[in-house]
Chains A and B, each alone.
Chain A
Amino acid sequence: MSKKIRILIAKPGLDGHDRGAKVMANAFRDSGVEVIYTGLRQTPLQIVNAAIQEDVLVIGLSVLSGAHMHLCKEVLKLLKEKKAFDINVVVGGIIPEKDIKELKRIGIKSVFGPGTFMKDAVEFVKKLVK
């Protein structure tokens, strides 16, 4: 039996749409991944604590609100504080080109825009296991 891949998908921020996050979650599930879905309007602290307790390999943040910079910085900071910086963070959502570079610089592993095929996102995450 191969090791389970567990990921956590959260939708931080104030806007109330989690369709994108759910599409992402279902694609991962269909590829044999265990997805812990934590729902809407999560604070960075809730997300990081949940990720630690669930011992996930990856946190997938779905952000649409434009607050991605702030949210990602906060999540990464908390991961560092709690000595869990080895948990990979990826972001899905509408992110301007210039911000993608900056996000990767501060430690976000990958950014999946609306044009990304879910297949690619799944492949990317599966590669992280190795």
Chain B
Amino acid sequence: MNSREIAKTISKIENNELKVNSTRNYNAHVIGITGPLGVGKSTLVFQIAKHYADAGIKLGIILNDPSSENGGSFLGDRIRMQKLCEYDNVFIRSLSAKDSGGVAKISGEIINLLEEKGFEKIIIESVGAGQSEIEIANIVDTCIVVLMPGLGDEIQALKSGINEIADIFVVNKADINQAERTLRELEMLVNMRGKTSWKIPIVKTIAIKHKGINELIEKIELHNDYFKKNLTQIKKSKLRNELNYLIKYEINKKIDKKLNKLIETSVQDIINNNSDVNNAINKVVDKIKFES
């Protein structure tokens, strides 16, 4: 594998100098790992990756960390991947994600590139923002949502969101208190979905001690089978979501500036008693021309 060439191509995509084919061929299995800050996502990525790497599978890993306001970033997920750096069949790339959605916007393009280059498994870690991690689900085949004990409120807050995106739940750090409680809360959440063709499994792990990893791998492979069997159907719905996200992203970018000005005017109007909220909204919506 020519790592250098792949790495350079990724940089070109990052710098907007290159567009790659943006449709998947689904030869690879893409696994996403998401969840709140510090729950052990990177440690889990390492354990899962090591399993596949030892089996000789050609493996790509994409690690997302947040970028700071000035464009700089401290990408630290790689600290947990040290041992994987000596494998010839593993390629790891860190990305800074400044857009919402938990992953850098070019993640999808990089997945396509790696798939085209013959990678068999691709693992992608999202930033641990805790919210708005929805986007990752659209670009992966198997989406793993990682939680840990003691996140009670977090589970409440994420209820609607993560239930939609999770294919597998992991309760990591099962060595600390209240793991059973988190497990039960998740079970309730899963049961609330009613009857579905894929029942979301919940796996308990202690990533730092390699506990529960084999069971997790087993569930990942089961889901891959399910995914491949239902590809036509799932592909459609993922594509729908992905387009929805990307189109809205572009539209937002386009109207943001315009909108700020219109909002300023509306605020003045309302304050001066020349308008009210409903009126102002209608006026603004009328003013933005979506046809262009």
Task: Give the chain B neighbours of A49 by CB distance below 8 A.
Answer: 3, 85-86
CA A4 to CA B96, docked complex, whole Å: 11
B1-28: contact bitstring with A at CB < 8 Å (1 yes, 0 no)? 0011011101100111000000000000
Does B169 lie at the interface of the complex (its beta carbon under 8 Å from any beta carbon of A)? no
Known contacts A46-B82, A49-B86; decide if A29 and B11 are in contact (CB<8 Å). Answer: no
Contacts of B72 in A (CB 8 A): 28-35
Among the 9-residue stretches A36-44, A61-69, A91-99, A105-113, the one with 4 or more Cβ atoms under 8 Å from chain B is: A36-44
Contact B74 A29 (CB under 8 A): yes
Q: Is B163 an interface residue (CB 8 A)?
A: no
B210 within 8 A of A: no
Asked if B92 is at the interface (CB within 8 A of a chain A CB), the reply is yes
A45 to B92 alpha-carbon distance, docked (Å): 14
Distance A2 CA – B7 CA, assembled complex (angstroms): 19
Compute how far the CA of A41 lies from the CA of B76 in the bound complex, rounded to whole angstroms.
Answer: 15
A37 vs B92: C-alpha distance when bound (angstroms): 13
| Docked complex Cα distance between A32 and B92 (Å) | 22
**Which label, helix, strand, loop or mixed, suits the secondary structure of the A interface?**
mixed
Q: Which residues of A does B touch, CB under 8 Å?
A: 1, 3-4, 6, 25-26, 28-39, 41-43, 45-47, 49-50, 52-55, 82-84
Which B positions have Cβ atoms within 8 angstroms of A?
3-4, 6-8, 10-11, 14-16, 67-68, 70-76, 78-79, 82, 85-86, 91-94, 96
16 contacts between A and B (CB under 8 A): A4-B11, A4-B14, A25-B74, A28-B72, A32-B72, A34-B96, A36-B78, A37-B75, A38-B82, A39-B78, A49-B3, A50-B92, A53-B93, A55-B10, A55-B11, A84-B4
For the complex with contacts A32-B70, A34-B73, 15 further pairs of A-B residues with Cβ separation under 8 Å are: A1-B16, A25-B74, A30-B70, A35-B73, A37-B74, A37-B79, A38-B78, A45-B85, A46-B85, A46-B86, A49-B3, A53-B93, A54-B92, A54-B93, A55-B8
